[in-house]
Structure 1
């Protein structure tokens, strides 16, 4: 049931990363250091024949079925045909990029 631990859950911890931020926002600034406590500090997620390397600060749609449907629709709109059944294994790194600060206009 809801709220109970289940030993039959098919999930496993692949990495744990600690990031301490004493500020007043929900998100730590990009430069805030983090410490990998367990595993490699990222996870791999497969979708549409691609393997995504997802870092802790990245946005990645965790509802894989919804993301696959969105990507399929984008491919259709772009006129990109699906593979002929051959899935290419590529690794795509997903990470939060540092945003450049714009200089104030005068």
Structure 2
């Protein structure tokens, strides 16, 4: 995790799933196998999938993921983004959950 916004909202790196055929049962199985307790996953050669308790939550996760990706691309153009230590990521995520009730 290189961004405080990602730490706040996701609380971890975004998992990446393997390439599977779209429209097949294997896609769902791979997402379930890799997503863990994340709100988002990036499937190789497909793109992002997000989840939530409802459509609004899944959309919010998609927006956070897209904005984080844009920021990371810009950061990589300028140099190599530095990872935030896991202990700080955990504190940021806990604060976000408790303060904003997300």
Same fold (TM over 0.5): no
Q: TM-score, normalised by structure 1?
A: 0.25
Q: Normalized per residue, which structure has more strand?
A: 1
Between the two structures, name the one with larger relative contact order (CA 8 Å, sep ≥ 6).
2
Q: Which has the larger radius of gyration?
A: 1
With the length of structure 2 as denominator, give the TM-score of the two structures. 0.26
